[in-house]
A and B are shown apart, each in its own frame.
Chain A
Amino acid sequence: MIRVTWILLLLVSLHRAASAETVAIRGGTILTGAGETIENGVVLIRDGKIAAVGTNVSVPADAELIDASGQFVMPGIIDAHSHIAAESINEGSVAVSSMTGIEDVLDPTDVDIYRELAGGVTTSNVLHGSANPIGGKNAVIKHRWGKDAKGLLFEGALPGIKFAMGENPKRSRGQGPAARYPETRMGVIDVIRQAFTEARAYQKEWKEYEEKKRGGAKGLSAPRRDLELEPLVEILEGKRLVHAHCYRADEILQLLRVAEEMGFRIATLQHVLEGYKVAKEIREHGAGASTFSDWWAYKIEAYDAIPYNAALMVEKGVLVSINSDSAEEARHLNQEAAKTMKWGGLTEDQALALITINPATQLRIDDRVGSIEVGKDADIAIFDKHPLSVYAVAQKTLVDGEVYFDRGLDLVRRAETEARRKELLERAKGGSR
């Protein structure tokens, strides 16, 4: 019982520190992500927002102080491709699963939310899987560990959806009546074209109804709502971002072309391992590219990949991010970004941008996060060494100015958690006898 109280006290004190209206992070090297590195600087946070950044910032007497002397303060890391905190990922039974959504199945108790905070991650784009040419809706979340599902949602983030090309969506699912169309790459494109043709008709049906209604027509029946087509209409109207899983250069071009033909844009190409071959076309379409640092050859279509992919696309003017697609890899995205300096010679700023402002821009949340600038959300990671060093370990991670991860507290809590576990196990044994 005493132990439990101790944990509660810790939590309460953590919460107090966090909810202080004004917080000042002092003494560290600030990598603003906005083209500036400030030695021995101050980040002043008020009501969850960044109020001031610089060396000459006056800190109010009542401010909660975070000492970052000798440490590195950077914008919270943003993972543009994640599958954490969700109780299901793939609705693989149908070729178009746009009626489904990650938001419906968010699990705020998934410990990966916390573990990624321990790697400096503050925002994740939680995507549906890649089983369908047109998959389900995504959820952009902030890692507000301890909040309920609604509390995780990145309020105001433009909604998105998953598309997928290649082996995953065309892979045969079952035999006989259980087999699912499509089974070829051309079938994948056909599914997308067909779905948007239907979405256009659906959009028209509703527009006509709304117009008649506005005109005062009586006895009108509204068309049936189709939850599969509604998100596709949103894509056509620019209200929903398309995040498309793809590998090969030919299918990347196929996708860009069918999108242009149907009248919408691809927001991000995900994985995009052969993006370096068609970087110019990607840039011209206006798509972002979110790729791995050096992860490939796990299937045939992922063979023609090179570690220079990210750097080459950056050079060609593509908006590039490095993502994880993995709860493990997400915990060291800083190192993944660093690899682009070795393979491709990106600068420190360019490398950091791959996991901060670039994914923020790809997700259209760059007005809120992605850099340490006045007015932005105070989503901040503090590392003991330069975050692009393999020796760097995150010490504190803040979301909206609140400390959600504190390595010092974490070390204390590990022992408490283990003690509680043992206590419960003992009690369970007693009960079953």
Chain B
Amino acid sequence: MVSTLLGAVLATVAALADGPDSYAVTGARILIGTGEVIENGVLVVDDGLIVSVGAVGERVQVPEGAWVIDAAGKTVYPGFIDALSTLGLGSKPREEATPAGRDETIARGPDDRPGTYSYKAAADELTLSDERVVKWRSAGFTSAATVPDQGIFSGQATFINLAGEREREMVVRTPVGLRVNFTRPGSGRSFPGSLMGVLAYVKQAFADAAHYRESWAAYEAAPLGKPRPTYDRTLEPLARAQSDGWPVLLPAHEAHEIERAIGLASELGVKPVLYGVHEGYAAAETLSAAGVPVLVSLKWPARDKDADPDAEDPLRVLELRERAPSTPGALEKAGVRFGLYTDGVEKPEEATLNLRKAVAAGLSRERAVKALTIDAAAIFGLEDRLGSLEPGKIANFFVASGDLFEEGTKIETVFVDGKKYEVRGGDE
């Protein structure tokens, strides 16, 4: 129950959000998200949290003044999580790497910290004017891990809810990870100019971070008579990723890249979460043995639309395209924990359709939902507060017209932090 002391304040917020604090969604088929399904259930929400959930007729308390939403014949899902995104960071065109020329900043080695923005936290860059927030929410995504994606160390990830009156209200937790990209920040004339240069830089940066941590620890233990180490905003987050076990997000698409990333993470002394993973079907056992969770891109590899129609693709490429959608199913069988991400698709519905391909290729429907909810939450250490519809958790869920894996199913109403958002249907 809401404390009466806060009642007045909350009423104001509720008015702004155009709805009450308490809802009871009744009559629906409810997927709790733990595997349990309640037919003809009631889900009670109050003050942004799930109060109770159960079958109609059970003792599920509906608070006084709660709005009752009749959802008979409909299905309630825990809110989906886009497990790696730039949602809420603005949809302005991406910065291109500076082309070689007069203006290019030339890095001469690791000390110049090329492409290093590890100090940037997504939480500090959020903007509600990012129109993708509403688009994604309307497709059933209530949360996302979001992080800048430019540079080698592009920034710190923040876990956000896709709604709020102010940007800061979106934040569920920050930081929840550190994103690394194996991209060259400049032309070949600036260090690093090659993949092996990038990997060498990542190793040097983490070696420096370890040294930084040790230097400060030694100084803090006995500062007298010692010069203090120099503060470095680029190394602080790397050092914390090592000491506090932040997930370090590493790119890995093909099987050999997966093997490479697992080896690299153990060399760096960090906890890896791999993203991309389209050839995960060929590395599921490796991932399972290493106990490394992954985020699978829902943008399956496809032939470039502008590709030369006469150019023949090699068998390897064709196999990858054919088999990439079987990755989630293979990971499920091997017991690898995985989340899913929309990977820059223009419409989030595309990602949902692509997920159906994974189901057709062997992924169970139950695991598909878990991958989009509780498993993604667990990868970021947030399964204790969201990702399923258990009492006390954050009320992120949506009401769909039926089973999401059936043709024609529509998402009708989305709740984020217990606030109701109608999906404005149709094409814009």
Query: What CA separation (Å) do A368 and B316 show in the bound complex?
Result: 33
Contact A88 B195 (CB under 8 A): yes
Contact B104 A425 (CB under 8 A): no
Contact A176 B214 (CB under 8 A): no
Query: What CA separation (Å) do A82 and B104 show in the bound complex?
Result: 33
Min CB distance, A87 to chain B, in Å?
5
Contact A104 B204 (CB under 8 A): no
Q: Choose from B191, B196, B259, B286 the contact partner of A136 (Cβ within 8 Å).
A: B196
Query: What CA separation (Å) do A107 and B128 show in the bound complex?
Result: 43
Min CB distance, A172 to chain B, in Å?
11
- Closest B residue to A223 by CB, please name it: B211
Query: What CA separation (Å) do A97 and B110 show in the bound complex?
Result: 11
* B residues near A420, Cβ cutoff 8 Å: 315
The yes or no answer to B15 lying at the interface (CB within 8 A) is: no
Contact B218 A219 (CB under 8 A): yes
* A residues near B201, Cβ cutoff 8 Å: 99
Contact B106 A178 (CB under 8 A): yes
* B residues near A88, Cβ cutoff 8 Å: 194-197
* B residues near A104, Cβ cutoff 8 Å: 195-196, 199-200, 260, 264
Min CB distance, A84 to chain B, in Å?
14
Query: What CA separation (Å) do A104 and B259 show in the bound complex?
Result: 11
* A residues near B318, Cβ cutoff 8 Å: 421, 424-425, 428
Q: Choose from B197, B211, B303, B316 the contact partner of A225 (Cβ within 8 Å).
A: B211
CB proximity to B under 8 Å, residues A396-420: 417, 420
Binary per-residue interface labels of chain A (67-97) against chain B in the complex, 1 for a CB within 8 Å, 0 otherwise: 0000000000000000000111111111001
Contact A99 B204 (CB under 8 A): yes
CB proximity to A under 8 Å, residues B378-422: none
* A residues near B303, Cβ cutoff 8 Å: 428, 432
* B residues near A222, Cβ cutoff 8 Å: 211, 214
Query: What CA separation (Å) do A64 and B62 show in the bound complex?
Result: 76
Binary per-residue interface labels of chain A (185-228) against chain B in the complex, 1 for a CB within 8 Å, 0 otherwise: 00000000000000000000000000000000001011011111
The yes or no answer to B256 lying at the interface (CB within 8 A) is: yes
* B residues near A149, Cβ cutoff 8 Å: 256, 259-260
* B residues near A35, Cβ cutoff 8 Å: none
* B residues near A250, Cβ cutoff 8 Å: none
- Closest A residue to B305 by CB, please name it: A432
The yes or no answer to A101 lying at the interface (CB within 8 A) is: yes
Query: What CA separation (Å) do A222 and B318 show in the bound complex?
Result: 50
Query: What CA separation (Å) do A113 and B318 show in the bound complex?
Result: 20
CB proximity to B under 8 Å, residues A148-193: 148-150, 173-174, 176-178, 180
Contact B203 A91 (CB under 8 A): no
Given A104-B200, A219-B222, does the pair A91, B194 have CB atoms closer than 8 Å? yes
Contact A150 B259 (CB under 8 A): yes
The yes or no answer to B168 lying at the interface (CB within 8 A) is: no
The yes or no answer to A100 lying at the interface (CB within 8 A) is: yes
Contact B108 A94 (CB under 8 A): yes
Binary per-residue interface labels of chain B (259-298) against chain A in the complex, 1 for a CB within 8 Å, 0 otherwise: 1100110000000000000000000001000000000000
The yes or no answer to A109 lying at the interface (CB within 8 A) is: yes
The yes or no answer to A105 lying at the interface (CB within 8 A) is: yes
Binary per-residue interface labels of chain B (310-337) against chain A in the complex, 1 for a CB within 8 Å, 0 otherwise: 0001011011011000000000000000
Contact B191 A94 (CB under 8 A): yes
* B residues near A417, Cβ cutoff 8 Å: 315
CB proximity to A under 8 Å, residues B218-268: 218, 221-222, 254-256, 259-260, 263-264
Query: What CA separation (Å) do A108 and B190 show in the bound complex?
Result: 28
Contact A105 B322 (CB under 8 A): no
Q: Choose from A91, A109, A226 the contact partner of B192 (Cβ within 8 Å).
A: A91
Query: What CA separation (Å) do A391 and B188 show in the bound complex?
Result: 43
Interface of A is mostly: loop
The yes or no answer to B166 lying at the interface (CB within 8 A) is: no
* A residues near B200, Cβ cutoff 8 Å: 91, 97, 99-101, 104, 136, 227
Given A93-B189, A178-B104, does the pair A109, B194 have CB atoms closer than 8 Å? no
The yes or no answer to B107 lying at the interface (CB within 8 A) is: yes
- Closest A residue to B303 by CB, please name it: A428
The yes or no answer to B130 lying at the interface (CB within 8 A) is: no
The yes or no answer to B345 lying at the interface (CB within 8 A) is: no
- Closest A residue to B108 by CB, please name it: A94
Contact A93 B207 (CB under 8 A): no
Query: What CA separation (Å) do A432 and B193 show in the bound complex?
Result: 36
Query: What CA separation (Å) do A24 and B316 show in the bound complex?
Result: 34
Contact B315 A424 (CB under 8 A): yes
* B residues near A102, Cβ cutoff 8 Å: 196
Contact A93 B256 (CB under 8 A): no
Query: What CA separation (Å) do A87 and B197 show in the bound complex?
Result: 11
Contact A221 B214 (CB under 8 A): yes
The yes or no answer to A427 lying at the interface (CB within 8 A) is: yes
- Closest A residue to B207 by CB, please name it: A225
CB proximity to B under 8 Å, residues A281-333: none
* B residues near A425, Cβ cutoff 8 Å: 313, 318
* A residues near B187, Cβ cutoff 8 Å: 178
The yes or no answer to A106 lying at the interface (CB within 8 A) is: yes
Binary per-residue interface labels of chain B (66-105) against chain A in the complex, 1 for a CB within 8 Å, 0 otherwise: 0000000000000000000000000000000000101010
Query: What CA separation (Å) do A180 and B106 show in the bound complex?
Result: 10
Contact B211 A224 (CB under 8 A): yes
Given A173-B189, A174-B100, A176-B102, does the pair A108, B256 have CB atoms closer than 8 Å? yes
Given A93-B107, A219-B222, A417-B315, does the pair A180, B189 have CB atoms closer than 8 Å? yes
The yes or no answer to B215 lying at the interface (CB within 8 A) is: yes
Given A102-B196, A108-B256, does the pair A221, B218 have CB atoms closer than 8 Å? yes
* A residues near B321, Cβ cutoff 8 Å: 424, 428
The yes or no answer to B344 lying at the interface (CB within 8 A) is: no
Given A99-B204, A421-B318, does the pair A109, B254 have CB atoms closer than 8 Å? yes
Query: What CA separation (Å) do A428 and B325 show in the bound complex?
Result: 13
The yes or no answer to B39 lying at the interface (CB within 8 A) is: no
- Closest B residue to A230 by CB, please name it: B207
* B residues near A92, Cβ cutoff 8 Å: 188-189, 193-194
* A residues near B322, Cβ cutoff 8 Å: 424, 427-428
Contact B194 A178 (CB under 8 A): no
Query: What CA separation (Å) do A190 and B207 show in the bound complex?
Result: 28
Query: What CA separation (Å) do A405 and B263 show in the bound complex?
Result: 29
Binding site for B on A (CB under 8 A): 86-94, 97, 99-102, 104-109, 128, 136, 148-150, 173-174, 176-178, 180, 219, 221-222, 224-228, 417, 420-421, 424-425, 427-428, 432
10 more contacts with CB within 8 A, not counting A101-B196, A177-B102, A178-B189, are A94-B108, A97-B200, A99-B197, A99-B204, A100-B196, A148-B256, A149-B256, A178-B187, A228-B110, A424-B319
Binding site for A on B (CB under 8 A): 100, 102, 104, 106-110, 187-197, 199-201, 203-204, 207-208, 211, 214-215, 218, 221-222, 254-256, 259-260, 263-264, 286, 303, 313, 315-316, 318-319, 321-322
A-B contact pairs, 10 of them (CB 8 A): A88-B197, A93-B190, A99-B197, A99-B204, A100-B197, A101-B196, A178-B100, A225-B204, A226-B204, A417-B315
Q: Lowest 3 A-B CB distances belong to which pairs?
A: A88-B194, A93-B193, A424-B318
